[in-house]
Amino acid sequence: MGAIQPKVSEPVSDELALVEAAKAGDDAAFEELVRRYDRNVFRIAQHITQNREDAEDVVQDAFVKAYTNLKQFQGQSKFYTWLVRIAVNEALMKLRRRRPERTVSLDEDVKTEDDSVPREVADWSPNPEQQYTQAELRDILDRTIHGLPATFRTVFVLRDVEGLSTEETAEALSLSIPAVKSRLLRARLQLRERLNKFFQRRDRANGSQKTVSGDGNQ
Going by the DSSP 8-state scheme, the letter that residue 120 receives in this structure is G
133 falls in which pLDDT band (50, 70, 90)? low
Domains of the chain: 15-98 (1.10.1740.10), 114-209 (1.10.10.10)
For residues 212 and 142, the answer to whether their CB atoms sit within 8 Å is: no
Phi, psi of 55 (to 5 degrees): -65, -40
Helical packing angle, 79-98 and 166-173, nearest 10°: 50
Give the integer Cα–Cα distance in Å for 33 and 5: 21
- Long-range contacts, 7-16 (Cβ 8 Å, 24+): 7/39, 7/40, 7/43, 7/161, 7/162, 7/163, 8/37, 8/40, 8/80, 8/162, 8/163, 10/36, 12/78, 12/80, 15/78, 15/79, 15/80, 16/75, 16/79
* Residue 194, number of CB atoms within 10 A of its CB: 17
Q: Kindly tell me if the per-residue pLDDT of 13 is higher than 90.
A: no
Residue 218 vs residues 108, 143, 211: alpha-carbon distances, Å: 59, 38, 11
Give the integer Cα–Cα distance in Å for 191 and 155: 13
Residue-wise pLDDT tens digits, 153-212: 999 999 998 999 999 999 999 999 999 999 999 999 988 888 888 777 776 766 655 555
pLDDT of residue 113: 39
pLDDT of residue 110: 37
Mean pLDDT, the chain, integer = 78
For the segment 23-37, the average pLDDT, to the nearest whole number, is 93
Exposure b/e, 45-61, CB count within 10 A at least 16 = b: bbbbbbbeebbebbbeb
Q: Kindly tell me if the per-residue pLDDT of 121 is higher than 50.
A: no
Residue 61 vs residues 15, 26, 41, 50: alpha-carbon distances, Å: 21, 20, 11, 17
Give the integer Cα–Cα distance in Å for 124 and 85: 26
pTM of the predicted protein model: 0.69
Give the integer Cα–Cα distance in Å for 17 and 181: 32
Phi, psi of 32 (to 5 degrees): -65, -40
